[in-house]
């Protein structure tokens, strides 16, 4: 862990203290992305309904880190709580695979439920390796969803 990671970990610990939430911060340098995970018994406070609090916390943390580091080369990382993001990513990947299977089997377009940009990117990336499947984002703003199309 380099100096920037230590600074970020300290900022997260400070935020937890100010929120009166007990937890342990762990840094994970995955091949895909760098992640700071908070382990806590009070995860519901940090995650919120459908991960809304966690999304907001990520935004706040990145703003604080950006000002603190004042770095020309920003550090890309995510904040997770009790592996919530990891489980959600796996769920989205499973939805994508199931949709691809249905599109292949039924030989018709499959529309997934609306997703945010990050979730759609996970689906596109997951299905990019399927030579007989094509994905496309359709719709506007909060109703943007993915169409999984079989290639004939």
- Please check the confidence at residue 30 and state whether its pLDDT lies above 90: no
Q: Is the domain covering 87-150 a CATH 3.30.1370.50 domain?
A: yes
- Please check the confidence at residue 33 and state whether its pLDDT lies above 90: no
In contact, 97 and 126? CB cutoff 8 Å: yes
Burial class of residue 5 in the structure, from the number of CB atoms within 10 Å of its CB (0-12 exposed, 13-18 middle, 19+ buried): middle
Burial 31-67 (b: 16+ CB within 10 A, else e): eeebbbbbebebbeebbeeebebbbebbeebbeebee
Domain assignments of the chain as residue spans, ordered by start? 3-82, 87-150
Render pLDDT for 88-145 as a digit per residue (tens, 0 to 9).
Answer: 999 999 999 999 999 999 999 999 999 988 899 999 999 999 999 999 999 998 899 9
State if pTM tops 0.95.
Answer: no
Selected residue with higher pLDDT from 32 and 108: 108
Structure tokens, 141: 């703003």
CATH architecture of the domain covering 3-82: 2-Layer Sandwich (3.30)
Mean pLDDT of 54-73: 86
Proportion of the chain above pLDDT 90, given as a percent: 70
pLDDT band of residue 152 (cuts 50, 70, 90) is confident
pLDDT band of residue 31 (cuts 50, 70, 90) is low
Tokens 């992305």 correspond to 33
Burial class of residue 119 in the structure, from the number of CB atoms within 10 Å of its CB (0-12 exposed, 13-18 middle, 19+ buried): buried
Do domains 3-82 and 87-150 share one topology? The answer is no
């Amino acid at each position: 862990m380099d100096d920037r990671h230590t600074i970020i970990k300290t900022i997260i610990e400070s935020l937890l203290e100010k929120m009166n939430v007990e937890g342990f911060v762990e840094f994970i340098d995955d091949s895909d992305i760098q992640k700071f995970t908070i382990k806590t018994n009070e995860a519901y406070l940090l995650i919120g309904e459908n991960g809304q609090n966690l999304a907001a916390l990520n935004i706040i943390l990145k703003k604080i880190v950006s000002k603190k580091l004042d770095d020309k080369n920003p550090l890309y990382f995510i904040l997770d709580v009790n592996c919530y993001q990891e489980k959600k990513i796996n769920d989205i990947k499973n939805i994508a695979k199931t949709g691809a299977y249905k599109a292949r089997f039924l030989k018709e377009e499959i529309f997934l439920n609306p997703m945010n940009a990050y979730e759609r990117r996970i689906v596109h990336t997951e299905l990019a390796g399927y030579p007989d499947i094509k994905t496309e984002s359709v719709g506007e703003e909060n109703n943007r969803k993915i169409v999984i199309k079989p290639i004939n």
